[in-house]
Structure 1
Amino acid sequence: MLLMLSEKGKYASATENRRFVWAEIIWPLILELNDVAFTLKQFQDKRDKICKEQNLSINIPSRGLASLQQKGILLKEGTLYSIHYKLIPYMRLKAGCDYATAIREVRLK
């Protein structure tokens, strides 16, 4: 998956960044920790590892983290980030939870 500035508009790029950060960094981190919350340091360590493996700039995932907060998938409470409560069952089952599933669950009333 290649993420950079491209011919895409800013909204398509933002969505692509969110998808990447969710699929490659945050959801695997949640499953590794087996916890609904993580610290910024844990995110940064995972981000750095993924970026090094995929030869990406760390700027892309940093923007994706903020964007996931804006969408309500991630919540920030003090120094902790946590996933939306509707995503907890996926974590408990250690199930796959792609970005489309996450955004759909968060938007359901």
Structure 2
Amino acid sequence: MTLENYKQKEKMKGKHASSTENRRLVWEYVIWPLILEVNRNYFTIQEYHKKRDTVCDEKDIFPSKIAGGFVSLLVKGIVVREKNIYSIHYKLIPYMRKKAHLDYGTVIREINTKK
């Protein structure tokens, strides 16, 4: 999906669908690429800001949209905060070790399955 298609679709969506799209956007463009880049299951707020700013410039997205998606990932428990460090849910670590492409749908299924 191109960025233009994404922006057009979002205008037609309701509140819940927009929140999901913001989470998906942040996960697939910011958080997961950052995790693979730093090659560990956590990142600092400074690393996040640097990646966020790069993505905002490249994709022409407002930082407020990214911020809303990031907070939503925190609320869902996909990203966890401990003091100044943010980490991904423990069930996602094997994907990180394999350097696999991890889309948002897989993330949701993975953290919601009982094992």
TM-score (normalizing by structure 2): 0.90
Residues 72 and 3 of structure 1, relative CA distance in 2, 3 Å threshold: farther
**Conservation of the 8 A alpha-carbon contact between 1:3 and 1:60:** no
Residues 3 and 18 of structure 1, relative CA distance in 2, 3 Å threshold: farther
- CA RMSD after TM alignment: 1.2
The percentage of aligned residue pairs carrying the same residue is 50
Q: Which runs of 5+ in 1 are unaligned?
A: none
| Bigger share in helix | 2
1:38 and 2:43 aligned:
yes
2:77 is paired with a residue whose SS is coil
Partner of residue 57, structure 1: 62
Distance in 2 of aligned mates of 1:41 and 1:10: 29
Q: Which runs of 5+ in 2 are unaligned?
A: none
**Conservation of the 8 A alpha-carbon contact between 1:18 and 1:64:** yes
User: How far has the Cα of 1:54 moved from its partner?
Assistant: 1.1
Residues 14-39 of structure 1, C-alpha deviations (whole Å, 9 max, x = no match): 00000000000000000000000011
TM-score (normalizing by structure 1): 0.95
1:25 and 2:30 aligned:
yes
Which aligned pairs between 1:1-109 and structure 2 lie closer than 5 A? 1=3, 2-3=6-7, 6-109=11-114
Residues 49-104 of structure 1, C-alpha deviations (whole Å, 9 max, x = no match): 01001111111111111100111111111111100000000000001110001111
**Conservation of the 8 A alpha-carbon contact between 1:3 and 1:17:** no
Distance in 2 of aligned mates of 1:80 and 1:66: 14
